[in-house]
Amino acid sequence: AMSSTIARTARSITARTARSLLTPAPSTSAPFERGAALANRLHRHGRNVILDHQRRFASSSPRGRVDANKGPVGWTSLALVSLTGATCLYFYDRERQRRVDGVRAAKTQSNGFQTNVAGGKASVGGAFRLTDSRTGKAFTDKDLLGNFAMLYFGFTHCPDICPDELEKVAEVTTSINSTLEKKHDGTAARLVPVFISIDPSRDTAKRVKEYVKEFHADMIGLTGSEKQCEDAARKYRVYYRKTGDEAAKDDYLVDHSIITYLLNPEGEFVTFYGKNTTEKEVIASVRGHIEAYENQ
């Protein structure tokens, strides 16, 4: 009985196992397959919508079309833009040059350094008659002949600019004369520093004499009457005018050109130096002009 029971149990287990193996398992991919089918239908529908939109756009009015053979800007527009730009550039450059020429002309006119085309020399300088502060006697342009000279127009009450420029003139004079003495044993022309007052109402001969001593022992101080000083300043194109309280007799300043002039031994104007020209630059320039004069 026991053996028959065991046999029946074994046959039952074997039958169930066979049925489980022969029966197909339920598919777990069905939801994914349904999702893929839905996505495929949506894709086909969207593609049809896009194609339909493209067909409608292509069949619309010419304003909505873009010609592949033509760019957004035609050759005519490019030509007009180029022509306009070139015209603006031309007028800008001409106006800029006109302004530059105007500034140069204004500077030349203000300084009075007009060139004599025929002679090739600037029409600066000329005869003058002033008073030598050392002797109280008359001093003219003829007294400078035979030497190089550096002329500076200023006034003794000048707070800073005149002293600075006269110190520069003094240093240049010392350097140049030292070189000339070594080169020619004191027989050649020297460089003479000269101060000319443009404020004769306050710059007496005595005051000018004491003033120039502070800068160089060889500096010549010249003054004179209002008319004499004005005439000399005009010959050298020097601008000056009183500033400040005109009611005060002695309390005023004088606005003037800040220029130092170089003359050759013949009394001719050679060149000039402004405030911004350094001492070294002046020395090199004066030395060059002296060498050129000696070698001519």
Binding site: which residues?
158, 162, 256
Residue ranges of the annotated binding site for Cu cation are 158, 162, 256
Nearest CA to 295 out of 183, 129, 163 is that of: 183
* Residue 203 DSSP SS3: coil
Is the Cα dihedral 240, 276, 289, 145 positive or negative?
positive
Look at the block and give the residue holding tokens 């603006």. Answer: 88
Q: How far apart are CA 192 and CA 181, in angstroms?
A: 14
Q: Are 162 and 221 in contact (CB under 8 A)?
A: no
- Which residues is 274 bridged to in the sheet? 259
Look at the block and give the residue holding tokens 């006119």. Answer: 109
Burial 24-55 (b: 16+ CB within 10 A, else e): eeeeeeeeeeeeeeeeeeeeeeeeeeeeeeee
Degrees, nearest 5: CA angle 293-118-291? 10
Here the tokens at position 129 are 């008659």
Cβ atoms within 10 Å, residue 263: 23
Q: Look at strands 253-256 and 259-263 and give their pairing.
A: unpaired
